[in-house]
Amino acid sequence: MVDHPRLLKVNKAAKSFGAVRVLEDVTFTVDRREAVGILGPNGAGKSTLFNLIAGELPLASGSIHFDGVDLGRSPPDVRVKAGIARSYQIPRPFEHMTVFENVLVGATFGSGRSGDQSTACNDILHRTGLYRFAGLAAGSLTLLNRKRLELARAMATEPQLILLDEIAGGLTPAECDELVGLIREIHAAGTTVIWVEHIVNALVRVVDRLIVLAQGTLIADGPPAVVLNDPRVRTEYMGGPSKDVP
Ligand SMILES: Nc1ncnc2c1ncn2[C@@H]1O[C@H](COP(=O)(O)OP(=O)(O)OP(=O)(O)O)[C@@H](O)[C@H]1O
């Protein structure tokens, strides 16, 4: 099998809700093993873009290629098996199941592997710092540990690409540092990362490239130092409510 250096190609992706166009001809590529941040004001279309890549919403027009394959019209389970995983802005564990069982669901149904998944699950629980909570109900976890569990469930599907949707929201600065460390480890181990986040200080400790969406269009794409000083980005994004910008 050929490894495509361009892991993700989003070409002229568009999406409307009724008469309202929320994404307009968004085009970008992400290379294998890159870490890319996505910034943009509230309502810019960031979560919608993730929903299009993960297959939770249908594309209106355009295409999405992943690892050389056109997946833009495939259902979410096909995309998970192809190697796309995501975390949600509001963690969505199975509250009454244990932490271990939550990870097991990802490993069993997401990865497509057969056989005993306990070793793989325990490994992920160790990596994400959740091993000692394995037997607890997911609903009893602190916010930081719920965020870790979002990552663990996504990692259990053995993704090539992980989409992180505002995963640092609501954490204290110290907790945010811990999460940043964990995401850096996941990236260093070879997983491609795309991270939508408003906490720019956290984002730039992980990513080496930033994309900015405003009103459904891509207005900047490049190294963080360049993008954060782009006059249009300053007006459209940082000119709004104060942001945590370095
Ligand atoms: N299912 C839906 N039905 C109708 N409108 C929607 C739906 N989902 C999102 N929208 C609208 O699409 C626009 C983009 O929303 P989206 O959640 O993608 O923005 P965002 O950039 O992720 O914002 P935030 O930073 O606040 O999370 C918003 O105006 C939103 O109200």
Buried b (16+ CB within 10 A) or exposed e, 69-108: eebbebeeeebbebbbbbbbbebebeeeebbbbbbbbbbb
On average, the pLDDT of the chain sits at: 92
Query: Which atom of ligand 1 lies nearest, measured to the CA of 166?
Result: 27
Q: Give per-residue pLDDT as tens, 162-177.
A: 999 999 999 999 999 9
Which residue pairs from 77-80 have beta carbons closer than 8 angstroms and sit at least 24 positions apart in sequence? 77/109, 79/53, 79/54, 79/55, 80/110, 80/157, 80/159
Q: pLDDT value at position 109?
A: 75
On the question of pLDDT at 15 being above 50, the answer is yes
Nearest protein Cα to ligand 1, atom 3: 17
* Tens digits of residue pLDDT in 145-159: 999 999 999 999 999
Instruction: Output the pTM of the full model.
Output: 0.93
The answer to whether residue 2 scores a pLDDT higher than 90 is no
CB atoms within 10 A of CB 246: 10
The pLDDT tens digits of the residues spanning 96-148 come to 999 999 999 988 877 667 777 889 999 999 999 999 999 999 999 999 999 99
User: Which ipTM score applies to this complex?
Assistant: 0.96
Q: Cα of 210 to ligand 1 centre, how many Å?
A: 20
Rounded to the nearest angstrom, the distance between the alpha carbon of 216 and the centre of ligand 1 is 10
Residue nearest to atom 8 of ligand 1 (CA): 48
Q: Ligand 1 centroid to 49 CA: how many Å?
A: 10
Query: For the chain, what is the total number of helices (H) and then of strands (E)?
Result: 9, 10
Place of tokens 């994400």: 128
145, β-bridge pairs: none
- CA 45–ligand 1 middle distance (angstroms): 6
pLDDT of residue 241: 47
